[in-house]
């Protein structure tokens, strides 16, 4: 993959990181405000300033100083080469061999004039991961570009296979993209691992391995014609928590895809996600108790050792893909400020970054959904 860098970088800000929320865009868990009309977005496609073209939020803060080193000792030359393999950190998880493959169909969901939809399973570092695969029909033999979809947070106890991005999957397939929705470990029919106790770092591995599974897939699966996938034109697409999964995948395996899009994403600073979705509601959950005892909460002496190591923002210098972020200005689940901060940090590292702001949209993307999907597909067509 060629490295995507923006000339003339003028920003310096590291203020964030990834993984934790979301609405189910199928309508079973959406928390975004109801919308009544579609508005054209304001586009922020790489100017030196990270603020949107409309008036910035009065709460937008200046760039933070760089975050502390993930360890108390001097930082090694390359933590991605030296991090202990058993450690819960992005560098440690990135050192794991990525073994994705074995994609196979387990059932047929639907056949339309434009695409076929299948229940599938693939292997991710020895784990079973389920998902849904949409394949273009009546659109020629290919090769087809492809996208791996990373869904947002839905309680794993109630999550069902393929939930959360059904409309996105269908839209992509209708436009000639193979779309593989990964359920992640601990969801639906996937292997159980208790990934939440490892701050969901394993979800990024499952997304990376889904890309590998697509690249290794034969043209025919269980007698169903898959067509030819263009190995060089595979992108990542995540929403809400899945946006955080995308950020982490891009730093764990910088060359895995050429372009990635995050919609209404969580923060790229994991401590902000913990505060927003676990601590602010005052609930002393079992997960919070585990995090407090095992890692320390952010701001505590132990926490200051742990949290920087799981913050994708601290490793944005590794990102090679072009990045698009789309966010509704009325989002009260994942604050728009998180996207401003993430875009600023990416650009500070010279990453080719564009932001699309939707003035009248909340978290779940209502009337603006078709236009937002067109922006996504235009981005993939251009960058992959």
Q: Please write the tens of the pLDDT for every residue from 179-191.
A: 999 999 999 999 9
* C-alpha triplet 305, 308, 310: angle, nearest 5°: 110
Q: Are strands 42-44 and 353-358 parallel, antiparallel or unpaired?
A: antiparallel
CA distance 103 to 224: 13
Question: 10 Å Cβ neighbour count for 272?
Answer: 24
CATH fold for the domain made of 42-383: Rossmann fold (3.40.50)
Range list of H helices, 65-186: 79-82, 90-94, 166-174
Q: With H, G, I as helix, E, B as strand and everything else as coil, classify residue 344.
A: helix
Q: What is the pLDDT of residue 19?
A: 39
CA distance 212 to 234: 10
Q: What is the pLDDT of residue 228?
A: 86
Question: 10 Å Cβ neighbour count for 210?
Answer: 31
Cα 139 from chain centroid (whole Å): 28
Return the closest-CA partner of residue 210 out of 263, 161, 257, 153: 257
- Contact indicator for 45, 53 with CB cutoff of 8 Å: no
pLDDT tens-digit map of 37-86: 334 566 665 433 333 333 333 333 333 333 444 445 545 568 898 888 88
Instruction: Enter the pTM of the model.
Output: 0.83
Whether 287 has a pLDDT exceeding 60, the answer reads: yes
- Contact indicator for 149, 168 with CB cutoff of 8 Å: yes
Whether 149 has a pLDDT exceeding 70, the answer reads: yes
């Amino acid at each position: 993959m060629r490295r995507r860098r923006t000339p003339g970088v003028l920003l310096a800000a590291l203020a964030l990181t990834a993984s934790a929320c979301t609405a189910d865009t199928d309508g079973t868990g959406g928390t975004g405000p109801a919308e009544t009309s579609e508005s054209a977005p304001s586009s922020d496609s790489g100017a030196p300033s990270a603020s949107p073209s409309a008036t910035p939020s009065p709460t937008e803060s200046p760039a933070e100083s760089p975050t502390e080193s993930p360890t108390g000792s001097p930082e090694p030359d390359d933590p991605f080469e030296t991090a202990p393999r058993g450690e819960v950190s992005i560098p440690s998880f990135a050192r794991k061999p990525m073994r994705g493959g074995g994609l196979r169909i387990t059932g047929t969901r639907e056949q339309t004039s434009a695409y076929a939809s299948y229940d599938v399973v693939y292997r991710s570092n020895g784990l079973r991961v389920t998902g849904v695969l949409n394949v273009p029909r009546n659109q020629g033999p290919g090769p087809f570009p492809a996208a791996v979809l990373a869904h947002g947070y839905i309680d794993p106890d109630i999550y069902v296979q393929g939930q959360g991005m059904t409309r996105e999957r269908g839209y992509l397939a209708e436009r000639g993209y193979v779309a593989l929705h990964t359920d992640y470990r601990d969801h639906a029919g996937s292997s159980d691992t208790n990934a939440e106790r490892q701050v969901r770092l394993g979800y990024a591995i499952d997304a990376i391995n889904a890309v590998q599974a697509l690249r290794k897939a034969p043209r025919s699966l269980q007698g169903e014609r898959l067509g030819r996938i263009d190995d060089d034109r595979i992108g990542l697409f995540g929403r809400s928590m899945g946006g955080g999964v995308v950020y982490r995948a891009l730093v764990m395996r910088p060359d895995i895809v050429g372009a990635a899009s995050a919609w209404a994403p969580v923060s790229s600073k994991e401590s902000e996600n913990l505060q927003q979705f676990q601590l602010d509601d005052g609930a002393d959950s079992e997960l919070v108790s585990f995090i407090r005892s095992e890692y320390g909460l952010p701001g505590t002496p132990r926490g200051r050792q742990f949290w920087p190591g799981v913050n994708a923002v601290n490793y944005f210098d590794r990102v090679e893909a072009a990045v698009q972020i789309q966010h509704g200005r009325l989002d009260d689940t994942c604050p728009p400020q998180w996207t401003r901060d993430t875009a600023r940090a990416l650009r500070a590292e010279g990453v080719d970054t564009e932001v699309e702001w939707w003035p009248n949209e909340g978290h779940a993307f209502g009337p603006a959904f078709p236009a937002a999907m067109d922006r996504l597909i235009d981005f993939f067509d251009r960058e992959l």
